[in-house]
Chain A
Amino acid sequence: MRLCVVGIGGCGGHLAERFLKSQDVTLLKQHLGEHISFGGVKGLWLEADVQETENQNFFGSLDNGRYPGFFIPHDVIGSDSKTSKLIVDRYGYDVKKQGFMRQAEFLKAVFEIFETDEDVKSAALLEHNSDNPILRAAWDRIRPYTTLMGPRENNSGLEMCDGILFVVSLGGGTGTGFVNPITRYIRGERPAYPVFVMGVLTEEGVDPQQRAKEAKRDLGATISLYDLLTKKVGIGVDGVILIDNEIMVEKFGQDYSAIDDYIHQAMRPFVAGRHYPGEDPPSLAMREKFVEGLDRPSILVPCYFRERSQRNPEDDLVKKALSEGRLFSCNPDMAERAYVFSRGFMDQGKIVEAVARQTGLSEDRIEPWRKLGEKRWDEILIFLRNPYGEKRGCEVKGNLEYRLHRVIRKALNYMNDPESNLVKEGMPERTRIAIKDYFYGEDGMQTRLEEGLKRIEDGEKPFFSSERNIFESSERDSSKSVASGSRGEVDEDAVRKIVEQILRERGIPT
């Protein structure tokens, strides 16, 4: 699978830079010819903060034809836009406001307005030829790097990407808020195209760069994870690769550059080319493996290790990856499946045996993909699928449940902290009602997160149940629409309940 890496927000941009760094030499910092990145990766950086784009010199403006480039999606909305004015007047949201203020619900709300409000859609359509111009513009910049472009449109003759990896920080900023709407938007066009998200959970304590409170960041992370993990396969992403900065900071201190380098290094077996002959399946076949048996995206915990080449390295590498090399704490014994990417000369059977021995998984639940390595180094990356689900596992430090339980708990505490001021005075009535309902309503996030905590404590999978939008309830209240998505999708849960009720009434077991 050749990946298009899309970094969103500050952290996403730094990581995307690692993935997109040229492997070629440059003459006076000028690239002549095609830009070659490791593994043939292509991509871009989506950012909302103009200043961030000015404080770096790796990405140039895509609109000026530079590659690798950045794009500010909100720029498609002009300052005198009628659509923008309508949203401000009706909802109190400024769509051109920068997304870095650690407020994930802000971007979520903005994009839901475009999806649910018919007047806004009409105004946008009239003004920008698209009912969701911000997401349309972002997707228009990503699409040319993918095989979705089609051979007729691809005049450059370059190799295109057959999967997308969004890279974001789950800290409540642009990445956290933007990743769900954009993936959902892409899915509207291509339900089966492989789309993964790599989310970096920020470390505990006060963020030294933006001084944002941990609890506030945790709320952003929780909202984003909730949205990512509750969208059905085909509507949302195919997998959420989780990385914990807490572990990275333990390894590298607060040297974020070294952390970014390490994360990129760990992902190299995933993105690398040079497959073992006959072991480069089509990207759709790989996607099928990742979503097999699931109706919602899985959490994928990366475990990575690298060492000098030796004879029969499989056992040692697997053992060390699963013990020392976890990028998010978890209990490998709880994993449902393992996807293994190796670089170096390794025996497929031995890799499978080693993973089975270390995790207790049956061999048919382990998928190895081997690639040729670098001279004198062997490396392995194992994605553990949903490695959680132990009853009271949240009490065991080092479990995935422990970390996520803490994050959700802190998010809940933040929601209940009067200082958090999530329902702001001065917002238009409809927004206040919708936000209040979203956070504190009968079926709001507070209730859902509490349920989620209970499910984690009970060792149930998945811990988040169904999608929750900000504006759906208020729309229902005003009897306007029951459609939950932008493309008139029926609320599947509601339909399922009705069908189940009818079947029960007719005495047919469900």
Chain B
Amino acid sequence: MSSLNETVAGVQTVDVSSGSGLILEGLSSFFVGISSNGIFGLLLFVLLLALGVFFHRLNMERTYRSVAATTRGGEVSREELREEMFTRQGSNFNAAAVAAWMLLFAAFAYFYFLTPEIFSRHNYYQVPTLSSGPLGFAIFGIVVFLFTGLAAAFIPMEIYSYYDISRKTKVVIMLTVPLLVISIALSVQQGTIFPEVDPAARSLAFIALFGSEATLLWPIYAEALGGIR
């Protein structure tokens, strides 16, 4: 009887482990699949940003309407309301947020436009003087910073200053800086080993990139979701 129990238990263990193994394998191939799909990634990145812009405008409009609805006569100056809504989040947070947004754009560029694997006609290797130079990767990053720096500096000030962001959320947003550095490092590694591909590193870089983007936009989404509730 006891040997029968052991056998049943053994079979159950095997079932469970093989089940979780299958899930892991499925997830892994899912991430490898979507992370290699350039169009999907590009659309997702832009969609998350566009939704952020849309929800931000929606949140501002909702606030305006709520204030107007509770104000005698319903007349409220939008400019005055914006001034009142402005909240200082602290210089440490602001610095971290600007850095995170710059790194986000850099991580995106490193992920999709470093190796020819995803966008074969538009990538770093299409500029031989750059890709064969000793500081090629760094120059590539600096160029991205130059193109996106203004946006990266402007976005945090525009979005975070109008939201009530808890200290915990600020810490999480701040943690996207190392997360994005990891994403960039993994993308650089892909560039170094090219034409070899490390699917696990690529998936991890993908998760770090889009996880960070969602986190950076979270205060806007959270406010919008709160309004929908």
Contact = CB atoms under 8 A, between A and B. Distances in A.
B77 A32 contact: no
A174 to B, nearest CB: 30
Interface stretch (A195-203, A213-221, A273-281, A326-334): A273-281
A284 to B, nearest CB: 20
Interface in B74-101: 76-77, 80-81, 83-85, 87-93, 95-96
A209 to B, nearest CB: 28
Given A25-B96, A275-B84, A277-B84, A36 B229 contact: no
A372 B88 CA distance: 15
A26 interface: yes
Interface stretch (B31-39, B47-55, B117-125, B163-171): B163-171
Given A274-B85, A277-B76, A345 B93 contact: no
B91 A34 contact: yes
Contacts of B229: 376
B180 to A, nearest CB: 16
A370 B171 CA distance: 30
Interface in B121-174: 163-164, 167, 170-171, 174
A484 to B, nearest CB: 45
Interface string B193-229: 0000000000000000000000000000011001001
A42 to B, nearest CB: 13
B226 A375 contact: yes
Contact of A372 (B63, B77, B223): B63
Contacts of A347: 70
Contact of A277 (B80, B93, B222): B80
A32 B72 contact: no
Given A348-B72, A349-B72, A25 B84 contact: no
Contacts of B71: 276-277, 348
Given A25-B170, A25-B171, A372-B84, A345 B67 contact: yes
Interface string A366-397: 00001010111000000000000000000000
Nearest to B87: A274
A273 B12 CA distance: 60
B92 A348 contact: no
A33 interface: yes
A10 B170 CA distance: 31
Nearest to A374: B164
B66 interface: yes
B44 interface: no
A25 B92 CA distance: 6
A348 B72 CA distance: 8
A25 B67 contact: no
A277 B90 contact: no
B69 interface: yes
A228 B143 CA distance: 65
Interface residues of A, number: 29
B84 A276 contact: yes
Interface in A89-143: none
Contacts of A370: 70
A346 interface: yes
B72 A36 contact: no
B79 to A, nearest CB: 9
A375 B72 contact: no
Nearest to A371: B84
A27 interface: yes
A89 B71 CA distance: 65
Contacts of B164: 374-375
A345 B84 contact: no
A40 B93 CA distance: 16
Given A34-B91, A36-B90, A345 B171 contact: no
Nearest to A275: B84
A413 interface: no
B137 to A, nearest CB: 27
Nearest to B81: A277
Interface string A1-43: 0000000000000000000001111110001111010001000
A25 B174 contact: yes
A376 B87 CA distance: 18
A310 to B, nearest CB: 11
A24 B67 contact: no
A34 B90 CA distance: 7
B170 A276 contact: no
Given A25-B170, A277-B80, A31 B92 contact: yes
Contacts of B70: 345-348, 370
A459 to B, nearest CB: 38
A372 B85 contact: yes
A410 B89 CA distance: 48
A24 B87 CA distance: 12
B170 to A, nearest CB: 5
B226 A376 contact: yes
A452 to B, nearest CB: 44
A346 B89 CA distance: 25
A33 B90 contact: yes
Contacts of A33: 90-92, 95
A24 B85 contact: no
A280 B85 CA distance: 13
B90 A24 contact: yes
Nearest to A280: B84
Given A25-B170, A277-B67, A36 B89 contact: yes
A46 to B, nearest CB: 26
A345 B80 contact: no
Contacts of B87: 273-274
Contacts of A25: 90, 92-93, 96, 167, 170-171, 174
A376 B226 CA distance: 6
B2 to A, nearest CB: 53
Given A277-B67, A375-B164, A376-B229, A23 B89 contact: yes
A24 B170 contact: yes
Contacts of B170: 24-25
A158 to B, nearest CB: 11
Contacts of A375: 163-164, 222-223, 226
Contact of A23 (B72, B90, B174): B90
Nearest to B71: A276
Interface of B: 63, 66-67, 69-72, 76-77, 80-81, 83-85, 87-93, 95-96, 163-164, 167, 170-171, 174, 222-223, 226, 229
5 contacts: A25-B171, A40-B88, A276-B71, A276-B84, A345-B66
User: Can you list the 8 inter-chain pairs with the closest CB atoms, starting with the nearest?
Assistant: A24-B90, A33-B91, A277-B80, A345-B66, A347-B70, A36-B90, A25-B170, A375-B226
